[in-house]
Amino acid sequence: MCNGISEPGFVEKLIMNETFHHDVNPRHILITGGNRGIGYATTFQLMRAGHVVTLTARDKAAGQAAVERLRHENNRADVNVATLDLGSFAAIRRFAAEMETAQPLDAVIHNAGILVPASERRLTIDGIEECLQVHTVGPILLTCLLASRLRRPCRIVLVASSLHAPGTHGKEVGFDFADPNLARGYNPDRAYKNAKLAQLWFALEWERRFGGTGLHIDAVCPGFVPVTAVRSTTGMRRLMLKYALPWMPFATSVVKAARIEAEWALRDPEEPGGRYFDGRKITEPSEDARDDTKAQAFWTLVQTWLGHPIEI
């Protein structure tokens, strides 16, 4: 069932069996990392429901190939592509400048992420641990730069993870404000979990500061989708992800995960944000994630990295 996630047509075949309700109010939705994985499947679902989607890809050719596949399935698909690398502030600024002339956005899905972080620590060109920048710091800058293109009210979704909480498999989450870039004791599990925790601080602090402007950010865990990690792994881990884990009761499919991303992006934009959803349920995130002082400390840290206040 899940062997061919990277094969052309795999996601399409699964989604074709789904029933879509054509939305009478098409929305313009931006999704980052829409060229593959859950982001691609989410784009497909939104497109089938009649929405206009702008997807981003790091690689121009990969983005165009994704759009061609989407249009092949639906020649009326209103889908655009743009290049975006969240690992570079300069690239984020370039992308935001390109979006200046685009139609206003009704929703943004910050989906792009590094599912399997590098085994050795990597810093971005901006000097930030790569996972933290791609999942959290980059999306903060991007949201601010796009603010003038966002309709009010607007739903913004951060694709988060239940792994932000302590007690999950692998190295524990542990965000040390004295060492946010994990210079001491880097571990890929921890890098991922810290970045996912920081996303929740972002949602919390953003709602406190800017929720009143109608720009509402929520964090949503789409569930555990083993198949999307297959391409980034080798050996026994790859075999487990490909053949065993997809059948476990705690795993979900790429299509179901995409449905969750799409549903939250299409929720009533008037609803307040700052919430965390585990799948379809509003869930209390970890104690750390609810800590206002830590959320504010993270905000200050990001401002230091950006070299200016976070403003919209």
Ligand X SMILES: NC(=O)c1ccc[n+]([C@@H]2O[C@H](COP(=O)([O-])OP(=O)(O)OC[C@H]3O[C@@H](n4cnc5c(N)ncnc54)[C@H](OP(=O)(O)O)[C@@H]3O)[C@@H](O)[C@H]2O)c1
Please tell me whether residue 38 binds ligand X under the rule CB under 6 A. Answer: yes
Q: Which residue of 134, 191, 200, 260 would you call a contact of ligand X, by CB under 6 A?
A: 134
Q: In whole angstroms, how close is the CB of 35 to ligand X at the nearest point?
A: 5
Among 27, 28, 58, 190, binds ligand X (CB under 6 A): 58
Catalytic residue among 40, 192, 243, 276: 192
In angstroms, what is the minimal distance from the CB of 191 to ligand X? 12
Identity (one letter) of the amino acid at 145? L
Stretch that binds ligand X, among 206-214, 218-226, 237-245, 301-309 (CB under 6 A): 218-226
Q: Give the x-and-dash track for 136-175 against ligand X (CB under 6 A).
A: -----------------------x-x--------------
| C-beta closer to ligand X: residue 46 or 112 | 112
Interface with ligand X, residue 39, by CB under 6 A? yes
Query: Distance (Å, rounded) from C-alpha 49 to C-alpha 36?
Result: 19
Active site residue 40: no
Q: Which residue's CB is nearer to ligand X, number 40 or number 299?
A: 40
Q: Does 10 bind ligand X (CB under 6 A)?
A: no
According to CB under 6 A, which residues from 250 to 309 bind ligand X? none
DSSP β-bridge partners for residue 276: 219
Nearer CB in complex with ligand X: 47/57: 57
Could you say whether residue 67 binds ligand X (CB under 6 A)? Answer: no
Active site residues: 192
- Interface residues with ligand X (CB under 6 A)? 32-33, 35-39, 57-59, 62, 84-87, 111-115, 134, 159, 161, 221-222, 224-225, 228-229
